[in-house]
Chain A
Amino acid sequence: MILTNIESIPSKNIVEHYGLVQGSTIRAKHVGRDLMAGLKNIVGGELKGYTELMKEARQQATDRMVEQAQELGANAIINVRFTTTSVSQGAAEMLAYGTAVRCE
């Protein structure tokens, strides 16, 4: 599965479009990480635990998008976009979407 965030796949020709595919996940942080992040929050800087969490969540959203594209018979997704929204205090939604295509 090739993913790009431009309208084409360089070096390949797009032969078929399958339309929009998307994957999303809503994640809440857990207490253990919250405790460490709370301590780190006093001195500022990167909150590594949260970065990991967001990374995992984004990976899951991407995987779900890819799964959906595979069901359609696509072998690439173009124009991929990511968005993050905080749904409630301490929970975030990750959304990944793109256009599923078949390329040769």
Chain B
Amino acid sequence: MELQFVANKANFMEPQPDSILVGLLVLFFYSLPILLLIATWIIGRTIEKRHYQDIRQREDRWHQVPATNGKPTPDLPQIASSELVVGSVVVSVDHFKRWLTGFRKIFGGEMKSYSSVIDRGRREAILRMKEACPEADMFVNCRIMTSTISNGKGKAIGCSEVLAYATALRFQPSDE
């Protein structure tokens, strides 16, 4: 009986490939949150960079067309038609940025990681609004609105919607 116990113990002390595997798995399991943070940081940053590139390209295409948030001035050319245009986008922050805000909330101050997300959303919404009427000559009375759809407490998905709308004007083609 005694002997058998000792033998069992000796068997246990020997490093088995099985126990190494288990150890690695446990290590992997505990480092999973950190791995997720790193992965989302890299992926999130790549997505953001690409999105900004896309936004800049499209903004260049549109910068000839004026957009104001005022009424149409009386000195405009003869207006042929007008229509309401709407553009909207729902954005959310990545896992890494959400984690960062935990620290930011201790010290206060600007949440740069969040402002870039909303900035992207707003510019995207304005571009979509403009793209809704590609032949427009001017956009007047542009309004931008941001609203929280859900604040992400518990299991809910935190996201905000940015909405931009305006009246697109088309001028009568001049005879000259």
On whether the beta carbons of B90 and A46 are closer than 8 Å, the reply is: yes
CA distance A84 to B121 in the complex (A): 16
Chain A positions within 8 Å of B150 at CB level: 86, 89-90
On whether the beta carbons of B117 and A44 are closer than 8 Å, the reply is: yes
Interface string of B68-111 (1 = CB under 8 A from A): 00011000101111111010111111110100000000000000
On whether the beta carbons of B51 and A45 are closer than 8 Å, the reply is: yes
Interface size (B, Cβ < 8 Å)?
50
Segment at the B interface, from A18-26, A33-41, A67-75 = A33-41
Beta-carbon nearest neighbor of A49 in chain B: B90
On whether the beta carbons of B44 and A6 are closer than 8 Å, the reply is: no
On whether the beta carbons of B94 and A42 are closer than 8 Å, the reply is: yes
CA distance A28 to B23 in the complex (A): 45
Chain A positions within 8 Å of B47 at CB level: 43-45
> Could you say which of B153, B158, B169 has the most chain A C-beta atoms within 10 Å of its C-beta?
B169
On whether the beta carbons of A43 and B161 are closer than 8 Å, the reply is: no
**A5-B80 contact in complex given A43-B47, A82-B165, C-beta closer than 8 Å:** no
On whether the beta carbons of A51 and B157 are closer than 8 Å, the reply is: no
Chain A positions within 8 Å of B151 at CB level: 89
**A44-B88 contact in complex given A3-B83, A90-B150, C-beta closer than 8 Å:** no
**A42-B95 contact in complex given A5-B84, A11-B81, C-beta closer than 8 Å:** yes
Chain A positions within 8 Å of B26 at CB level: none
On whether the beta carbons of A84 and B163 are closer than 8 Å, the reply is: yes
**A46-B83 contact in complex given A5-B141, A37-B157, A54-B161, C-beta closer than 8 Å:** no
Chain B positions within 8 Å of A14 at CB level: none
Beta-carbon nearest neighbor of A37 in chain B: B157
Chain A positions within 8 Å of B80 at CB level: 11
B: which residues have CB within 8 A of A? 36, 40, 43-44, 47-48, 51, 71-72, 76, 78-84, 86, 88-95, 97, 117, 121, 124, 140-141, 143, 145, 147-151, 153, 156-159, 161, 163, 165-167, 169
Q: Which 7 A-B pairs have the closest CB atoms?
A: A44-B94, A10-B79, A3-B84, A50-B90, A84-B147, A4-B167, A11-B79
Selected A-B contacts with CB under 8 Å, 23 pairs: A6-B167, A10-B72, A37-B157, A42-B36, A44-B47, A44-B117, A45-B44, A46-B121, A46-B124, A50-B90, A51-B88, A51-B161, A58-B86, A58-B88, A58-B163, A81-B143, A82-B145, A83-B145, A84-B145, A86-B148, A86-B149, A89-B156, A92-B161
A: which residues have CB within 8 A of B? 2-7, 9-11, 34, 37-38, 40-47, 50-51, 54-55, 58, 80-86, 89-90, 92
